[in-house]
Every structure is written in C-alpha cells, then in structure tokens.
Structure 1
C-alpha cells in the first residue's frame, strides 16, 4: 500500500497536480460544494432539465408532463413581462457559500434614488459572469441593504426560458429575457419604481476574450442598450467586476485561429460561446471546471442621466454612447487600484 501511495504521488508530481489537503475546514468544503453545484448548473443544467422532462413524459406520470406543457405554453411570455421572482430562492444558503468561495464583494460608489429605474450596464462578461450572478441574481451580497428600496432583475438569453424546469429556476432567481420588450417593460416607470435591470452588455461574444489578467470588453458595436435607456428614460449605470477574468483559464484562442473560428460559428448558431472553462477540481487545484478561488469585486458606478427619447436618431445614440464609454473608462481607472494587484500594468481594452 505504501508503494502504491508513492507511485501515485510520483505520477501526480509528474502531471503537476497539487492535491487539496485533507484537513480543510468544513466551511471551505461547503464553499467548494456550492461552487461545484453552481458550475454544474451553468454547464449542464439545461441538459439535465430536458432529460428530466423526457423521463417524466415516458413515465407513469406522463399526464403531469402534459399539464406542465399546457401551463408552460400559457406562461411562455412571462420572461418578457417582468418575470416571476421568488425571494426565498435568492436567499438560499447555497448562494452565501458560493459568495464566500471566491469571495465576491459588491461595492457602491453612490446611492440610488428608489423612485427611479436604472439600467445596469455590466462588464466584463468573463466566462460565465460569476460576479454579476452573485451580486444581482442572488441576495447573498445584500443588494437590498446596500440600495434600500431597490429591487434587481438580471437579464439573460431568451432561449433559456424555452427549457422546461430550467426556465422556472432562473425565473425564480429574478431572470428576465434579453429582448427589447422585456427591458422596456422592466424600466417602465408606470409599472415599476426602484427597479435595477442588470444587463451583461458584451454577451457571449465577449466571453471569447476572457483570459486571466486581461480586461477586453465589447462596447463600440453595442448600441441597443443605449437605445433602450433613451426610450425608457432610465439612467445608465456602469458596473464593473474586477477579477472576473481570473476565475478560469480558457484555452488560448487568438483571432482567426481554428479554435476561435469554431467558437464563433457555434455562438452565431446557438447564442452561446463554447468556452471549455479550465479551472480546478474538487480535490485538486490544477484540472477541472470549478472556478479558481480568486476574489471578484463588482463595483456599481455613478448613474448617468439619460433624456427620454422615444425615437432617438443615430447621432443622438452615438452621443450618449460616447459619454457612457467615458464613464466606464473613468470607473475602471478610478477603481482598479483598489481591487487589482499590479493595477498599473492592467489596461481596459474596448472593442
């Protein structure tokens, strides 16, 4: 047995595997379990949900599948009508352990007026938006206490709301569709006050440029969120998650490489970027899909007032877009020294 152990350690050393110690505190084990459950939900949640639905269809309880399908079809547009959030789901202990795994922090630079609605324009996307998820899709970072009188909805791809069971979970977390109809509904002052709508502006395309230590965001060709802000009159709020690119180590995928072309083709067809996240494992620190324990700080910047304009011209949109770009750069430069190591060597690249 001793010889077997030595052989195992020799192989581990040859592969560069660093194993987790056995005397890890229980608290940290729960944190790792929470992160494991979360990444499995992100990567495999939809496939599992579809399998469960098919299992129900071909079981003795097939009639439940029919009832659910009828309800599903009648409820299909709820993701464009403000969603269906359940605070008890957002308050699960799971999310507090998930928060402490990295850890994730939420920082505000100014108070928000609860009589207004705000469009949070969040950067960067990272591989799976770990920081924005913790800050805006759960109550683990005490968003309601930090911004009294405000509520928050996180925006995600409309296709997620077509997956049985999975859709109900992300609706419960406060998720809503990334459609014009959905955003204008949430930001309408006649329907809501004190609503913060968190949108990852760069989307899946930006995920392809997520690499440790690099901050490359897609903004120049993103105009839709500015148009929505102008049509609703909602102030634009720059939000930046420092440390987001550091929790995974994706494969190198420079422009025009074979891997990048494959990723772009899949993204255009499905709306999802195949990132093959490389992080750590449950029991070792070198290989796996678990995120790396790296701190993420999500900073909410100062609101930028936007004049309501139901039919803005391209020139008017460009003017607001240019001002917002300046606000985002200002936020990054003023906050990076507080939240990044070697910040003098870190630059924000806007494409």
Structure 2
C-alpha cells in the first residue's frame, strides 16, 4: 500500500481475482445508484426527445398498471447463481452459518428476521437472496423470498432485476401470502429494522431497531409460522457514515426523504476503486450471517395485544441470546460488545 497526497492507494500488483471482486461489489452500488438517481432523467429524455417514446410509454403502462402482482414467483435460477454475486460475496467475504442441526420442516413456512440492516443489507442479500452460499444446501426444501421496499418495484428496469432475484414487497398482503402458503415450503427474509436502522450503521456499533416493530410478530401469529432470528456480524463494519445531530438541517432532510421514499439517504464513508481513503465502495470486512434456532409459533388468526407482546419479548430474548452466544466467534471486542435495542 502506498500513500501519496495523503491518500492510501491500492497496490498495483493485486491479483486479478481481487480486482474482479472489487468491480463486482462496486457494480451493485453504482447500478442501484444509477437506477434511483439517473434513470428518471433517462426516461424523461427518451419520452420527450427521442423516437422511442412509444416504447417507453408501453413499458411504463405495463409495469405500473398491468403487471401489478409483484409477489408472484418469477425468480431466475441462472441470475441467482451468476458469478457477479459470487465475486461480490468473496469481496468481504460473506459466510452463512446455521447453528441448528435438524433441517427445517418442509411442511411449514418460516420468517427469517434479520439484523442489522447496515447500509444495504449485504449479508442477507448475498447469503440468502442469491445462491452464492449454496442456500439450497442449507435449506433444501424451501423457496426463499426477500422482502424489500415497495418503491423498488416502481424503478424501471431495476424492478425486473429485483423480481428475477426473488425480491418481493414488504407489505402485509405479501408477507401473509408467503407465510400462509398451504403445505409450507416458503422462507421469507425480512430486515425488521428497515431503513431506520441504517442511521445506526457504523463500525463497532451493534444497535438495532426492534422495540416498536411488532408487525412481523402479527404476521407470524396469524399464519403460525416460526420466527427465526438472524444476525449479521460485521454488517456495520463495511461502511462508516457522516453523522449529524438530531434537529440539524441535514438530519431533518434525511428524515424527510426517508418519510417520503422509505429509503435512508445516509452519507456513507467508504473507499474507491484504486484507493482506500474515500468513496462509496464498501470496505473489505468479513460478514458472518448467523441463522439461529426457529421459535415455534402457534397459529392465532386474531392475536390479542398480550399475545403479540409476549411473543415479541420472547423473540427479543432469543435474539439477544443468539448475539451473546456467537459474538465470541466473530467480534474482536466480544468481551465488551453489547446488543443495543432501540
């Protein structure tokens, strides 16, 4: 590593494999940013200043008003197995660890509740959503669906990539559909803390948003699907962020944008392609996604507040136990690390 102009530059003689890993993970970041920030302008140009306006109109009408069933299974096996995601996984690297021995019951549906969100949820995305970690080996009898913000299905072209990957909306209707499937066989991956948790994303921080998140508890009770606590050790280590005090102008703007779009516009600290000092590419830090023991749930079509609170407390207890029992394997500061629940 060489330092020049107060910038730490990557060595010139890095293996091609590492270069490809960096390119793959950067592609995920830049593709997502392109579709969010640039695609609206591209569409505007094509509709008002090109001869392809009619094709764009047809596509928009089809995607917004005709193809509205975004919870249907149109997953592409080829896409979930493509090398792009394998290189992205190996960049950190990301490992999937299942601590229970017995296979999941093929006749039941399971709700995987993942923490923390981090910046983009790389752990759940690359270990459970894609098949890079051999999810069929870990969960051979289940189809896996990852729930994401509904707004992602209104981004042209990107929505097709999301659907091919097995992403579905984080809506009550979609969760009930997946978790209420007769005969079982589904796994729903849900990042419970959502975008709000991204504001807690910082190295050394183990802070999650759970205290007032009870919607997933209601889903589990209504459908009788077991809850599975999942914790991604290292998720918060791959980015830092520029933090602003609550009440400041920038923090108010971040809160307003999150309220309007559901997306947390965090100003992240990362690295670049050829240097380690600044940029939006994540740092190379290992992420270990640990899947805990399922918590059995009895089906209750109209759960009471007391039943919801009791199950919520049990889930919180099991999540803390998972964190405490596994942190010694994955955290350098495991003796002082504590899980903070907000």
TM class by smaller structure: over 0.9
Could you say which residue in structure 2 is the equivalent of 1:304?
295
- Does structure 2 retain, via aligned residues, the 8 Å contact 1:96–1:140? yes
2:55 aligned with 1:42, yes or no? Answer: no
Report the alpha carbon displacement of residue 248 of structure 1 after superposing the two structures with TM.
Answer: 0.4
- 1:201 is the counterpart of 2:192: yes
State the alpha-carbon separation in 1 of the partners of residues 173 and 143 from structure 2: 19
CA shift digits 1:267-307 (9 cap, x unpaired): 11221111011110000011100000000001111110111
CA separation of 1:257/1:336 partners in 2, compared to 1, >3 Å: closer, same or farther? farther
Counterpart residue number, 1:135: 127
Q: Which residue of 2 aligns with 1:337?
A: 328
Using the TM superposition, give the Cα deviation of residue 132 of structure 1 relative to its aligned residue in structure 2, in angstroms: 1.2
Residue in structure 2 matching 1:291, options 278, 282, 300: 282
Shift in Å, 1:252: 2.6
**Deviations, residues 160-214 of structure 1 (Å, cap 9, x unaligned):** 1112211111111111001100101111232x63211001100111110111011
In structure 2, the CA distance between the partners of 1:347 and 1:71, relative to structure 1 (3 Å rule), is same
Contact 1:248–1:277 (CA under 8 A) maintained in structure 2: yes
Given the alignment, which residue of 117, 126, 140 partners 2:109?
A: 117
- 1:185 correspondence with 2:191: no
2:215 maps to 1:224: yes
List runs of 5+ in structure 1 lacking aligned partners.
1-8
Q: Which residue of 2 aligns with 1:166?
A: 158
- Comparing 266-275 and 286-295, the one that deviates more: 266-275
Deviations 1:59-97 (A, max 9, x none): 323332233233223444222x33421111111100000
Q: TM-score, normalised on structure 2?
A: 0.94
For residues 235 and 215 of structure 2, the distance between their equivalents in structure 1, rounded to whole angstroms, comes to: 24
Q: Does 1:144 align with 2:136?
A: yes
Does the 8 Å contact 1:76/1:162 carry over to 2? Answer: no
Instruction: Select the residue among 82, 90, 107 that pairs with 1:100.
Output: 90
| 1:83–1:175 Cα contact (<8 Å) kept | no
Deviation, 1:55, is 4.3
Q: C-alpha distance in 2, partners of 1:82/1:335?
A: 36
1:346 paired residue number: 337
In the alignment, does 2:59 pair up with 1:68? yes
Could you say what secondary structure the match of 2:130 adopts?
Answer: coil
Partner of 2:234: 243
Distance 1:54 1:265, change over 3 A: closer
Q: Deviations over 1:249-269 (max 9, x none)?
A: 101334445443332222112
Separation in structure 2 between the aligned mates of residue 119 and residue 102 of structure 1, nearest angstrom:
26
Q: How many residue pairs end up in the alignment?
A: 338
Deviations 1:297-340 (A, max 9, x none): 01111110111111111111000000000010011001111111
Gaps in structure 2 of 5+ consecutive residues: none
Q: SS where residue 40 of structure 1 aligns?
A: helix
